[in-house]
Amino acid sequence: MITIEEFKERFNEIKNLGWIRTHRAGTTGIGKTLEDLLGIDENNIQGPDFGQYELKSMRKNANSMLTLITKSPDEPAGANTQLRLNYGYSSSAYDNDEKVLHSTLSATRFTPIANTGHSLKVSCTEERINIINENYEVVASWLIDNLKAVMDRKLSDQFVFVRASSRGTGVNEEFLYEEAYLLDGFNSQSIIDLINEGQIFVDLRIGQYHSGPNRGKTHDHGTGFRIFERSHYLIFNIRRIA
């Protein structure tokens, strides 16, 4: 199977089979079952699954989240340290009084920060994605052009994305493969739209070093932009093919 037309033909045959019992228990069962039905050999080599395309499959009701990219704020200088010191809280994971800041932020509501009296949310302009405090003051920002550049590099793969309903669990789980899309090129504007809609979150994971010369200083564990797995395909240019 090399071309999209060949994929469409086989996928429509699979759709007509109705509910199909998983070929493997667990989270990877949906992909393994589809690959078997399409005649794609399983391998661990990074690269296209058929022709020039990677194949991804997803349960429609999946509640897990994916990290799109991790990137510290661009502004102001030392933003992570300022966020940690001004809005963080003490943690029993450390044996000092230095603060940490772990919180998942949305553009649709303020998120209270534990035991601090503060709350934070995300806000977008044409040029920046901001973190604002309860007084609507901007406390950290990413330049949208910088985020686009990082995402373009990481999310430029071309692939076919399949969505399926699922029922049952474990070895008795069944899939109903229903929709297939060609995802051809990352759509940077969709990131802004999905943030504003509350479908992409900013996950602050700002801690401190446990030991060594940097003990007590800021340690960014990967401030990330995260999305629900079921919505991942929405960040691309989408064309439904089956």
More confident of the two residues 130 and 150: 130
Residues 121 and 170 in one domain: no
pLDDT reported for residue 142: 96
Residues 119 and 163 in one domain: no
| CA separation, residue 37 to residues 7, 22, 46, 99, 178 (Å) | 11, 11, 21, 52, 14
Mean pLDDT of 5-29: 95
CA–CA separation, 73 and 140 (whole Å): 6
Lowest mean pLDDT among 44-58, 94-108, 110-124: 44-58
Residues 219 and 131 in one domain: yes
pLDDT in tens, 13-23: 999 999 999 99
Lowest mean pLDDT among 101-105, 160-164, 172-176, 210-214: 210-214
Percent of the chain with pLDDT over 90: 55
Residues 52 and 122 in one domain: no
For residue 84, give the nearest of 178, 223, 210, 199 by alpha carbon.
Answer: 223
pLDDT in tens, 131-160: 999 999 999 999 999 988 888 887 766 789
The average confidence (pLDDT) of the chain is: 88
Does residue 225 contact residue 200 with C-beta atoms inside 8 Å?
yes
Q: Which residues are CB-neighbours of 31 under 8 A, at least 6 positions away? A: 55, 56, 57
Q: Is the pLDDT of residue 2 over 80?
A: no
Which CATH number does the domain housing residue 31 bear?
3.40.210.20
pLDDT in tens, 71-86: 999 999 999 999 999 9
How many Cα atoms are found within 13 Å in the side-chain-facing hemisphere of 80?
Answer: 20
- How many domains does the chain contain in total? 2
Sorting pLDDT into bands at 50, 70 and 90, what band is 174? very high
Give first-to-last CA distance, the chain, whole Å.
16
Which CATH number does the domain housing residue 214 bear?
3.30.70.3570
Ramachandran quadrant class, 185 (left: phi over 0; alpha: psi -120 to 50; beta: rest) = left
Q: Which two tokens stand for residue 208?
A: 């401190």
Give me the domain span that covers residue 59. Answer: 4-63+151-185+232-240
CA–CA separation, 53 and 180 (whole Å): 13
Residues 77 and 49 in one domain: no
CA–CA separation, 86 and 130 (whole Å): 16
For residue 227, give the nearest of 139, 133, 151 by alpha carbon.
Answer: 151
Q: Is the pLDDT of residue 207 over 90?
A: no
Q: Which residues are CB-neighbours of 206 under 8 A, at least 6 positions away? A: 80, 83, 84, 88, 100, 101, 102, 218, 219, 220, 221, 223
pTM of the model: 0.78
3-state secondary structure 130-157: EEEECCCCEEEEEEHHHHHHHHHHHCCC
